[in-house]
């Protein structure tokens, strides 16, 4: 009996030690992949759960940190978790937020498999905000906040139009391009692609721009879209695909442009090009998005051609304002965000209902205005220095 009591006491001690350990590791900053952190002034304040999809694309760490800090500055407790691009992991994290009594959950989802966790939230009367990525196939939530993603794609198309001077190109000397898309599990990837192709298709039809490799005219051509898509936005997949293109379909041409859907993939594609003698002195015009510090440095140095600056600090602030107003049952009014209507209404279409979609505006960045994100305090001095920006 004595032995059992002793064992029990030891277990209790280990348990409380582990609990203190968890609290400690969670008390500052954001957590590493798959774990969550929380802080706030009092345990009686309302909890907001923040579920971010992944850490391998830099922006999400920034988003998670900004969301947490805005939530706390409005008096909430905030827990952040990163899903490691694994929906099962993210669903468990959302489940934990519910167990911990969250009143609202802001979700940048991994893929459509999130809908079961969203259904659980609805059952508990917890408000879900789809953050940056729409949650398709669900009627269990009402709000979505994002950037105008079709416009992001249009900017990428315009970058290529400008970089190749397509307006002056002729069918006798057509320019060449190869196409990449983002993850087929992410609804945004379709908007980005369709936005870009809305600018590029007319040039392809005129014969002044030739596609090397698969050519889905729009994302609706699923078979070809799958061939150019990059599962889970993984840079190694894009790099390998670029290497294969260079050794096969693009072997006998010099590519003038590559449509790359974000900065992480753009840099992987550039890396593959730089390993090919044809491109060591002149790279193709490569697009991007996210204005990551490394890509802004690359643009300034004349490698990557353009990026799209989506001020995710503003997105995070807007999402917290939205959560605050929903939780307090107030009228919704988010400075800097516009409610999608008319031809943009489809942005909020989950396939099961049309949720209210609030949109922020992206900014096209080239060598001419690379300082815009720096002036917006989007980078710390340290990040800038690390990437060689002076």
Site residues for ligand BGC per CB under 6 A: 57, 59, 132-133, 182, 186, 188, 233, 262, 289-290
252 contacts 226 by C-beta, under 8 angstroms: no
Q: How far is the CB of 233 from ligand BGC (least distance, A)?
A: 4
Q: How far is the CB of 61 from ligand BGC (least distance, A)?
A: 11
Q: Pick between residue 46 and residue 313 the one whose CB is nearest to ligand BGC.
A: 313
Q: How far is the CB of 249 from ligand BGC (least distance, A)?
A: 25
176 contacts 255 by C-beta, under 8 angstroms: yes
Q: Pick between residue 110 and residue 209 the one whose CB is nearest to ligand BGC.
A: 110
β pairing state of 209-211 and 285-286: unpaired
Q: Pick between residue 84 and residue 132 the one whose CB is nearest to ligand BGC.
A: 132
Q: Which DSSP symbol is given to 363?
A: E
Output the CA angle 307-311-314, nearest 5 degrees: 170
Q: How far apart are CA 60 and CA 62, in angstroms?
A: 5
Q: How many Cα atoms are found within 13 Å in the side-chain-facing hemisphere of 326? A: 21
Q: How far apart are CA 355 and CA 332, in angstroms?
A: 14
Q: How far is the CB of 59 from ligand BGC (least distance, A)?
A: 5
Q: How far apart are CA 23 and CA 7, in angstroms?
A: 24
Q: How far apart are CA 259 and CA 233, in angstroms?
A: 14
76 contacts 45 by C-beta, under 8 angstroms: yes
Q: How far is the CB of 383 from ligand BGC (least distance, A)?
A: 17
Q: Pick between residue 103 and residue 133 the one whose CB is nearest to ligand BGC.
A: 133
Q: How far is the CB of 182 from ligand BGC (least distance, A)?
A: 6
Q: Pick between residue 169 and residue 229 the one whose CB is nearest to ligand BGC.
A: 229
* CB within 8 Å of 182: residues ≥ 6 apart: 188, 189, 192, 193, 229, 230, 233, 261, 262, 265
Q: How far is the CB of 257 from ligand BGC (least distance, A)?
A: 19
Q: Pick between residue 290 and residue 383 the one whose CB is nearest to ligand BGC.
A: 290
Cα separation of the two ends of the chain: 70
Q: Which DSSP symbol is given to 181?
A: -
Q: Pick between residue 59 and residue 77 the one whose CB is nearest to ligand BGC.
A: 59
């Amino acid at each position: 009996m004595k032995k059992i009591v002793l064992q029990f006491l030891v277990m209790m001690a280990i348990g409380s030690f582990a609990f203190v350990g968890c609290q400690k590791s969670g008390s500052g900053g954001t957590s590493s992949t798959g774990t969550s952190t929380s802080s706030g002034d009092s345990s009686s304040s309302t909890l907001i759960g923040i579920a971010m999809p992944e850490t391998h694309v830099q922006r999400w760490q920034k988003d998670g940190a900004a969301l947490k800090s805005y939530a706390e500055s409005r008096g909430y407790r905030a827990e952040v978790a990163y899903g490691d691009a694994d929906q099962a992991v993210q669903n468990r994290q959302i489940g934990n937020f519910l167990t911990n009594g969250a009143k609202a959950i802001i979700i940048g989802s991994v893929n459509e498999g999130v809908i079961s966790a969203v259904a659980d939230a609805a059952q508990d009367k917890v408000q879900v905000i789809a953050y940056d990525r729409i949650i398709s196939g669900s009627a269990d939530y009402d709000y979505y906040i994002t950037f105008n993603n079709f416009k992001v794609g249009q900017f990428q198309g315009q970058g290529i139009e400008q970089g190749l001077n397509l307006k002056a190109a002729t069918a006798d000397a057509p320019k060449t391009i190869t196409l990449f898309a983002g993850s087929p599990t992410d609804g945004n990837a379709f908007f980005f692609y369709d936005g870009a192709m809305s600018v590029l298709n007319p040039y392809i039809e005129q014969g002044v721009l030739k596609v090397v490799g698969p050519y889905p005219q729009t994302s609706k051509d699923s078979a070809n879209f799958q061939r150019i898509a990059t599962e889970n936005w993984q840079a190694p997949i894009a790099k390998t695909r670029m290497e294969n293109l260079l050794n096969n379909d693009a072997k006998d041409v010099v590519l003038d442009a590559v449509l790359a859907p974000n900065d992480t993939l753009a840099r992987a594609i550039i890396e593959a090009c730089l390993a090919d003698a044809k491109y060591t002195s002149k790279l193709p015009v490569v697009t991007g998005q996210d204005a990551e510090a490394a890509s802004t440095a690359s643009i300034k140095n004349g490698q990557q051609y353009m990026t799209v600056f989506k001020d995710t600090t503003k997105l995070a602030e807007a999402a917290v304002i939205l959560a605050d107003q929903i939780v307090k049952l107030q009228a919704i009014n988010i400075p800097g965000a516009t409610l999608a209507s008319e031809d943009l209404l489809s942005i909020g279409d989950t396939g099961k209902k049309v949720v209210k979609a609030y949109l922020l505006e992206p900014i096209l960045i080239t060598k001419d205005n690379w300082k815009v994100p720096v002036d917006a305090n989007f980078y710390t001095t340290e990040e800038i220095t690390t990437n060689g920006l002076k």
